[in-house]
Structure formats: C-alpha cells, structure tokens
Amino acid sequence: MTCDDASTLDEDECSLSTRRLRLRPAVLADAPAIARYANDRQIAEMTSRIPHPYTLGNAEAFLSGVEDELILALTRRADGAFLGLASLQALEEDGAVELGYWIGRPFWGQGFATEAAQAVIDHAFATLGMAVVEVRCRVVNGASRRVIRKCGFAYCGTGLSTSLVSGRVASETYRMDRRCWESLKSWSTSR
C-alpha cells in the first residue's frame, strides 16, 4: 500500500504535514533512529511486532521486508527529528485498514501520537478511500487508549492479541467508519 495506492509516487508526494509534524515514507536511512527508540522494552511490550532487544539489524530487516503496508516516519517539522512510526496495514475486510503507531520515549506526553494518528486517519479516508480504520491497544496501555479516544474511535470489544515480547495479551479493538469520520470532520470545521 502506498500513499495513494500507486507505486510510482516519490517521497515528497507521499508526505503528510500537520502543525508540528511531517509524516513521510520510512526509508532505510531511518533504521538507526528506529533501532534507538524501538529498543525500549516498554514500547516493545505495547506493540505486537517489536522484539526486545531491538537492533539495527531488526530495523533494517523490517524496512526491507514491508509489503502491502504504508509505513510513515514521524518527524518534527521544526528540525526533522525522528519521533517514531505510524502504519496502515490492509485487513482481510475489503476497504479496511489497521492503524498502528509508536513514539520514542523522549517525545511522550507532547501530543505527537494524537497529531500523527489524526493525519494518518484523514489520509486513509480522504486519499486512500478506505471504508474503515481499526486500531488495537493493550488494555493496560492507557496512553494509547487516550490517543484512540481523542481521534473519535468507537470501542468494539476486548480480545487477545499476540506481542513478540509479552505473548498473548488482553487488547481492546476500536473502529471508525467513513460516516463517523465525515461527521467528525464536519463538526471540527463548523466551530
């Protein structure tokens, strides 16, 4: 999956911008920063795919092996600093994608995850034409739950997910369909 489902776009055409962030396709040159921030057990425990310890080789293999998934590097507009990653991965349900994200520990508590998630959700609906965006978080991940709720997702239920670090864990699933997103966008512009 690319920025507009066409594989000929260059990096600048695929970039998203927010007030404080630039989200661009992750590239191999991001591997050292990804390895530095993802090598945090607390981050790995809250994700499904990050092992711990996390090495430069893990980051390079991840970036080289991604297929049918949009992986965006979250960077600060002011100085280009790498903050984390966001992704959209196609689900089996037609027109549905799963949103994923993580932010490096030095950047926690500053609203970057919410700002990035909102930009990626807008991109999924407005540019990619998705019908549904789904997101999951561990039940013990209050910070991620706050991001999800700020974005306007509806709670669907609790189940089990698999984490490379934590094994089978209780997780919550949230969904947003296009109609809900359109309503949220119209409310925010009518104020």
Q: Which CATH number belongs to the domain containing residue 57 in this structure?
A: 3.40.630.30
For the chain, the maximum distance between any two Cα atoms, rounded to a whole number of angstroms, is: 48
**pTM for this structure?**
0.91
Domain count, the chain: 1
d(CA 138, CA 87): 17
Q: Is residue 139 part of a domain?
A: yes
- Label residues 160-187 b or e (16+ Cβ within 10 Å = b): ebebebbeebebbbbbbbbebbeebeee
> d(Cα 29, Cα 51) in Å, to the nearest integer?
20
Find out whether 71 and 64 touch, Cβ atoms under 8 Å.
no
Residue with tokens 């997103």: 181
Q: In what order do the strands lie in the sheet with 96-103?
A: 16-17, 21-25, 69-76, 82-90, 96-103, 132-138, 167-177, 154-163
Tell me: pLDDT of 187 over 80: no
C-alpha span between 89 and 87 (Å, rounded)? 6
Residue 125 lies in a domain: yes
Residue 12 above 60 pLDDT?
A: no
Question: Tens of pLDDT along 63-117?
Answer: 999 888 999 999 999 999 999 999 999 999 889 999 999 999 999 999 999 999 9
User: Per-residue confidence at 8, pLDDT binned at 50, 70, 90?
Assistant: very low
pLDDT: is 11 or 31 the higher one? Answer: 31
Tell me the residue range of the domain where 53 lies. 12-189
83 domain-assigned: yes
* DSSP category for residue 105: G
* Predicted confidence band of residue 126 (pLDDT cuts 50, 70, 90): very high
Higher-pLDDT residue of 148 and 93 is: 148
